[in-house]
Structure 1
């Protein structure tokens, strides 16, 4: 055994000793992010409901996430250690997942040039210095999640997501928490019949859009892997059947960490930003005009609005039961 191999073995054993209930990881790394980074505030946005099979949060604040990598499945566990982050991974794709861990936690985020320019945003920015804008890098994962949320209440979309991923995804490598799954491949999504979509509350319009992107999984992923610019990716997404401005923005936020993507068409965003920052409800046109001074960081502004304690309009009508909305958000 070489001196380098002995040192690596010693470091690996030390990492394992910190959590004796977990087996030694197949790959791991600990690093100090170049900017303050909060795991909860950064990757927490990626979790789609408390029962998301692809991401879980432990009571101690550590976050588990499954990944389908070119080398095989992996599960990673992120732990906050002061200003440093420890990532441990298990499974065939562990080394691949660990190599990309900093990017998943916002290492590519560039907040330079962002000026809050509003007392509420200044306070939120000061209280949440570790909130990075990060993307998963998995185009199909982001597309399916956003498409399921088109035109329906969030509770219904998240329930469909959980049931579909549980059904189609393979179990995550040990020692992932019980019930965690690897996000399904494009082929798995294509295998669902019409009745199976309906059984989990997904109308055939959204199902058709998911099937369309699943059939083009590789070409969709190349947009990320080849590092196409955000404007090009937006144009490509908008050219797809069933994908509109809201879905494109959501995908760019979730997959690419686009700090400027505005979810125009969101039923809550414009009224909440308006009430919080201007004292009155906005429509979409007013939202876009109001956010113009923050171009380059408009999604960052939206995240800070919610993180800082957004002003939400009181509900004046009975809560709708989950189901399709009349508006054409997509």
Structure 2
């Protein structure tokens, strides 16, 4: 824990029915993310900003949402706290599209208060996404948490055991074998190091489209990783994670009662919602409309033992 002095505070006004926990939970990799924590109704999120490391605290207070920043980057985070909280997300144009399918229409009504956050930062989400490539969630979290603790630093603010993500340049300079004890094979380690070397250029992208083009130009990063990143960094409601193991099945099951589907089938079913295809996937997941499971689970491996 570093300095606890508050640098800025701001009161936000969420829309009626706003789902605070469901919205900000998208910014954390589970309940034990070293960089994000939802405790006693308050969401704590630490990251690196253009002004330096900072921690943002979001807490509901009656009809308001209070944002407090800590550390050198605290004021930067408070300035865009409404985007981080998903309050710049406007689903109005989605509602006529949702009405065209009964399942989507029901979910749009049930989860009307769910918003899509937009952090404005690429590398923190890219760090997670690279580790999530083609492995189980347990393997991905283990690698992500170990990397944050190896290369990151204690977060500004009053929360103990909260970490600020790594400086990209330090990750880029590390040899691939440093990540091996974290369960990361050379392919993902090299991808992360290449992405970290491009982090400054990526952070200057004007929008999700430019960021996607630059991301997929990096060897080892494809449409899935790019979509996972821009959906969070820019709040892109149309970002679809093509290449995901589960999402095509979920979409096929929920929208067409087909227990299995490939990427082509998923995109066909999502086409009527173009502009908000990623939002549909978020709603399907929020509604728990997952496809039936067949066969054994993917085993958890440890490359550190190989």
Task: Quote how far apart the aligned CAs of 1:36 are.
Answer: 5.2
Paired residues for 1:127-206 under 5 Å:
127-176=110-159, 178-206=160-188
Regions of 4+ moved over 6 Å: none
Matched positions, count: 295
Q: CA RMSD in A?
A: 1.8
Q: Judging changes above 3 Å, is the alpha-carbon distance between structure 1 residues 122 and 172 closer, same or farther for their aligned structure 2 residues?
A: same
* Alignment equivalent of 2:296, drawn from 310, 318, 326: 318
1:244 aligns with 2:219: no
Paired residues for 1:261-272 under 5 Å:
261-272=239-250
- TM-score under structure 2 length normalisation: 0.90
Task: Quote how far apart the aligned CAs of 1:264 are.
Answer: 0.8
CA contact (8 A) 1:39 1:63 kept: no
For structure 2, list consecutive stretches of 5 or more residues without a partner in the other structure.
none
1:210 aligns with 2:210: no
Distance 1:123 1:96 in 2: 37
* Alignment equivalent of 1:293, drawn from 272, 275, 280: 272
Distance 2:106 2:63 in 1: 21
For structure 1, list consecutive stretches of 5 or more residues without a partner in the other structure.
1-22, 325-330
Paired residues for 1:221-236 under 5 Å:
221-223=203-205, 227-228=206-207, 230-236=208-214
SS in 2 for 1:289: helix
String of CA shifts for 1:196-223, please: whole Å, max 9, x gaps: 2110011111111111111122111111
Task: Quote how far apart the aligned CAs of 1:291 are.
Answer: 0.5
String of CA shifts for 1:63-111, please: whole Å, max 9, x gaps: 1000212322221211123442111122122211111111111233231
Task: Quote how far apart the aligned CAs of 1:29 are.
Answer: 0.7
Distance 1:186 1:204 in 2: 18
SS in 2 for 1:310: coil
- TM-score under structure 1 length normalisation: 0.84
Distance 2:185 2:92 in 1: 42
CA contact (8 A) 2:69 2:78 kept: yes
